[in-house]
Amino acid sequence: MRLGVAALLASGLLLATGSQAQDKKHGPGVTDTEIVIGQSAPFSGPASAFGIYGRVYVSYFQMLNDQGGINGRKVRFHSLDNGFSPPKALEQSRKLVEEIGVLAEVGTVGTPTNSAIQRYLNGKQVPHLLISAGGSKFNDPKANPWTVPFYPSFEMEAAGYAKHVLKAQPDAKIAVLYQNDDYGKDFVKGLKKGLGDKAKMIVAEASYELTDPTVDSQVISLAASGATVFMNFTTPKFAAQAIRKALDLNWKPLQFVASPSNSLPAVLVPVGLDKSVGLLSAQFFKQPGDPAWDKDQGMVDYFAFMKKYMPNEPPTDSIGVSGYVNVQMAAWVLQRSGQELTRENLIKQATSLKEVSLPMLLPGITLSNSSQDYAAYQNFRLARFDGKTWVPIGDIINAKD
């Protein structure tokens, strides 16, 4: 089921139609003319590179409102700064629910921040919807039925890296740098799961805290291990530091960069595009700037959106693309909910995806989940940075096989 925004608008799915003359059911934050939803994002703090995610959300709903809204209603969207701080994220969730009165919290960014608000939102039975965090803890329909993840699983991604290493470098020595929280630990868990009885290939591990000024000392110790493969399981600021330090040390392993940190503007440009050649990462989305997609309608629509609604943001930022895909999924869920805009129906629509393909997803990658397993992404493409863009290599990897 491939659904582009233009096609949705042309078919009237995003706008009110006569076929939707059903009994209206409203949850909190919904009137006959408006839907109130919100999120928090790190517009400041150590992960402010993710701030573009929230800005894309705001701008995309503005675009839809300019086109008439969703099923005849305008979306009033609130994106609050959480500074990538768990206490601040909880404070902002309370504000969204108890003061602003949102129908749902949608697309909130980050593992530590979503961890901080998960219990609160589930206790209030408020949809914690399409969150941008790939931790396994967020896919637990029994314990936390109101939390629906959307970012690809970190475990799945790392297991896919392991599959590639076992094939490409069966005698590799692996060094791992990871963030000392659920984000980094899930990547390490997935890597070891993917390596199986070959996990002894990991010869060195080092962690860091979000409050650390640099990861230079960790990279020095990892380089000293003699590893031939470097798993860089970090967030953007630290990814750039780690890549740069490895270069300073003349350490040239095969390096994998976690997908949340493969942004050109936030990571590779500061390092130097010429110095980033050869990096590997997971790719789920079409890469703006890759000539292969110049005439692709999804890419044309994306650039038109960025030019009109976000002219001062870099369109090649993969973090922004991820936010664009996420907000398109949010609009899809709202549209599918029709006139039954209740919290329960939002969860139902978000957890019954059947091979949905959004315009910026790579060919062959579709989204499916169920009420028993909320994870929508099942596979990805490995990509190599060629000095200008991320170029997909090899076949689609299904880490669950």
pLDDT tier at 394, thresholds 50, 70, 90: confident
Span 267-300, pLDDT tens digits? 999 999 999 999 999 999 998 988 889 999 999 9
> Do 128 and 121 touch, CB atoms closer than 8 A?
yes
pLDDT tier at 398, thresholds 50, 70, 90: confident
Task: Tell me, yes or no, whether 260 and 311 share the same domain.
Answer: no
The pLDDT of residue 399 is: 61
Task: Tell me, yes or no, whether 188 and 217 share the same domain.
Answer: yes
Mean pLDDT for the stretch of residues 10-29 = 56
Task: Tell me, yes or no, whether 46 and 91 share the same domain.
Answer: yes
User: Which CATH number goes with the domain that contains 51?
Assistant: 3.40.50.2300
Task: Tell me, yes or no, whether 75 and 120 share the same domain.
Answer: yes
Full residue range of the structural domain in which residue 118 is found? 5-152+293-370
| Distance from C-alpha of 273 to C-alpha of 190, rounded to nearest angstrom | 29
Count up the domains in the chain and report the number.
Answer: 2
Span 186-230, pLDDT tens digits? 999 999 999 999 999 999 999 999 899 999 999 999 999 999 999
| Distance from C-alpha of 277 to C-alpha of 67, rounded to nearest angstrom | 41
Mapping DSSP to helix (H, G, I), strand (E, B) and coil, where does residue 230 land? strand
Mapping DSSP to helix (H, G, I), strand (E, B) and coil, where does residue 397 land? strand
CA distances from 399 to 73, 134, 300, 328, 330 (A): 40, 14, 31, 25, 26
pLDDT for residue 17 is more than 90? no
Task: Tell me, yes or no, whether 193 and 223 share the same domain.
Answer: yes
pLDDT for residue 22 is more than 60? no
Whether 288 is covered by a domain: the verdict is: no
The pLDDT of residue 20 is: 43
- Which comes out higher in pLDDT, residue 5 or 175? 175
**DSSP 8-class letter at 143:** T
> Do 230 and 202 touch, CB atoms closer than 8 A?
no
Task: Tell me, yes or no, whether 246 and 223 share the same domain.
Answer: yes
Task: Tell me, yes or no, whether 247 and 334 share the same domain.
Answer: no
| Distance from C-alpha of 123 to C-alpha of 14, rounded to nearest angstrom | 31
Whether 45 is covered by a domain: the verdict is: yes
**Strand ranges (E), 6-100:** 25-26, 34-41, 74-81
Give the position of tokens 């028993």: 372
The pLDDT of residue 14 is: 47
Mean pLDDT for the stretch of residues 322-337 = 97
Element (H or E) spanning 204, and its range? strand 202-208
User: Which of 8, 102, 20 is CA-nearest to residue 346?
Assistant: 102
- Planar angle of CA 395, 50, 251, nearest 5 degrees: 60
The pLDDT of residue 320 is: 95
**Total Cβ atoms within 10 A of residue 173:** 16
pLDDT tier at 8, thresholds 50, 70, 90: very low
The pLDDT of residue 378 is: 87
> Do 308 and 332 touch, CB atoms closer than 8 A?
no
The pLDDT of residue 25 is: 79
Task: Tell me, yes or no, whether 341 and 219 share the same domain.
Answer: no
Whether 376 is covered by a domain: the verdict is: no
Whether 256 is covered by a domain: the verdict is: yes
User: Which of 313, 271, 302, 277 is CA-nearest to residue 50?
Assistant: 313
The pLDDT of residue 10 is: 41
The pLDDT of residue 32 is: 95
Whether 241 is covered by a domain: the verdict is: yes
Mapping DSSP to helix (H, G, I), strand (E, B) and coil, where does residue 120 land? helix
| Distance from C-alpha of 36 to C-alpha of 77, rounded to nearest angstrom | 6
Comparing 10-19, 23-32, 48-57, 153-162, the range with the smallest average pLDDT is 10-19
| Distance from C-alpha of 128 to C-alpha of 343, rounded to nearest angstrom | 10
Span 99-139, pLDDT tens digits? 999 999 999 999 999 999 999 999 999 999 999 999 889 99
| Distance from C-alpha of 178 to C-alpha of 157, rounded to nearest angstrom | 14
Task: Tell me, yes or no, whether 242 and 391 share the same domain.
Answer: yes
Whether 375 is covered by a domain: the verdict is: no
User: Which of 248, 216, 358, 384 is CA-nearest to residue 296?
Assistant: 358
**Strand ranges (E), 96-200:** 105-106, 128-131, 147-149, 174-179
- Which comes out higher in pLDDT, residue 39 or 401? 39
**DSSP 8-class letter at 319:** H
Task: Tell me, yes or no, whether 144 and 182 share the same domain.
Answer: no
pLDDT for residue 6 is more than 50? no
pLDDT for residue 19 is more than 80? no
Whether 333 is covered by a domain: the verdict is: yes
Whether 91 is covered by a domain: the verdict is: yes
pLDDT tier at 51, thresholds 50, 70, 90: very high
Average pLDDT, the chain: 92
The pLDDT of residue 232 is: 98
Task: Tell me, yes or no, whether 392 and 275 share the same domain.
Answer: yes
Mean pLDDT for the stretch of residues 169-197 = 96
Mapping DSSP to helix (H, G, I), strand (E, B) and coil, where does residue 324 land? helix
Helix residue ranges per DSSP H, 169-296:
182-195, 216-223, 236-248, 269-271
Span 345-378, pLDDT tens digits? 999 999 999 999 999 999 999 999 999 999 999 8
> Do 310 and 302 touch, CB atoms closer than 8 A?
no
| HEC secondary structure over 281-292 | EEECECCCCCHH
Mapping DSSP to helix (H, G, I), strand (E, B) and coil, where does residue 76 land? strand
pLDDT for residue 145 is more than 70? yes
Span 257-266, pLDDT tens digits? 999 999 999 9
Mean pLDDT for the stretch of residues 299-305 = 98
174-179 and 147-149: which strand pairing?
Answer: unpaired
What residues contact 157, with CB distance under 8 A and at least 6 apart? 134, 187, 190, 258, 259, 282, 380, 399
Task: Tell me, yes or no, whether 386 and 245 share the same domain.
Answer: yes
pLDDT tier at 401, thresholds 50, 70, 90: low
